[in-house]
Structure 1
Amino acid sequence: MERFTISLDEALANGFDHLIRARGYTSRSEAVRDLIRKEIEGDRLSQGEAPHCVATLSYVYNHHERRLAERLTTSQHHAHDMVVSSTHVHLDHEQCLETLFLKGATHLVRAFAEQTCAERGVRHGALNLIPVELNEAEHQHVHVSPRT
């Protein structure tokens, strides 16, 4: 473990302490580590240096929209190697929230998410990507591990 010192003015330090308490951190160190991880991985994603990922894609849609549910399901079946799981929630008599758990090549996951969110009747789409490394396992399958 490497240590470094950082100096903050009192207002910034107080604001940071308030933030980390609100988020449930027990130490400044763990909060700073998480902030650094988030920035490093965000930079890797934006630079195209994260070839593989796990992700969630959440979106709201009106299930009364003509054939939309069928189109979404068909799209998920075509991407069966990428779509690990889905969760479907009925928000009211018309609106549904769906969250898909995805894994695969980052550019393909992004393309699938963009295609899904572009479907007429889909609203409020949000993609959360987490870069991973692929590790060949001894038992004929691949493990995925967060990068940092």
Structure 2
Amino acid sequence: MADKEDLTRFGVAFPTPLIEQFDEYIEERGYKNRSEAFRDLVRKTLLEPSHLQSEQDVAGTIVMVYDHHISDLPIRLMELQHQAHHDIISNMHVHLNHDQCLEVIAVRGNLGRLRHLHQQIQVQKGVLYAELSVTYVDELNKLATRHSHDHNHSHHYE
């Protein structure tokens, strides 16, 4: 946790019914105070793929539910994953019922490529649900990428 001097304090006004719901939310989840809960909500919002730049390196999951009886769908989904094998860390396949499967794909790579993979999965006939969730942004790699494009060759390493 950040030191107290690293914290910035500000006031937020909530309608009474909303703050009452928020207080119930933080109590149910075991937060010690509103600030902790608010920080987690902000972090989650900032990790939404729509708020990140395509060139950023990230890690997260693609979750999908699909009907495995749709002709060739399991094969098409496997081919898409093979094409993106450099960005896929692992996957888990679960049979939900006689017709539907849940698949969770752990991914790490360029957000633009991961968005493209997600879109390719999402549009397949028989895919009932597909979502890309980002849980980590590789800020160090982003900085390394910036430095690698620096054309000033006078860097000294100790």
**Superposition TM-score, scaled by structure 2 size:** 0.73
Name whichever structure is richer in strand by fraction. Answer: 1
**Structure showing greater Rg:** 2
1:26 match? 32
CA contact (8 A) 1:50 1:131 kept: no
One-letter amino acid of the counterpart of residue 72, structure 1: L
Q: Pick from 133, 137, 149 the counterpart of residue 132 of structure 1.
A: 137
Aligned-residue identity in percent: 33
SS at match of 1:25: coil
How far 1:114 moved relative to its partner? 0.4
Q: 1:12 to 1:75 in 2, by over 3 A?
A: closer
2:112 alignment partner, SS class: helix
How many residues are matched? 135
| Residues 3/134 of structure 1: CA separation in 2 closer, same or farther (3 Å cut) | closer
Say whether residues 1:16 and 2:22 are aligned partners. yes
**Offset at 1:135?**
4.0
Q: Give the aligned partner of residue 145 of structure 1.
A: none
1:65 — aligned with what? 70
From 52, 69, 89, give the equivalent of 2:94: 89
Q: 1:51 — aligned with what?
A: 56
Note the aligned Cα RMSD (angstroms): 2.3
- AA aligned to 2:51 is S
Equivalent-residue separation in structure 2 for 1:47 and 1:58 (angstroms): 19
Quote how far apart the aligned CAs of 1:97 are. 0.8
For residue 4 of structure 1, the aligned residue among 9, 16, 26 is: 9
Which of 75, 78, 82 does residue 80 from structure 2 map onto? 75
Residue identity opposite 2:33 in structure 1: S
In structure 2, runs of 5+ residues without a counterpart are 1-5, 142-158
Secondary structure, counterpart of 1:54 in structure 2:
strand
Q: 1:81 to 1:34 in 2, by over 3 A?
A: same
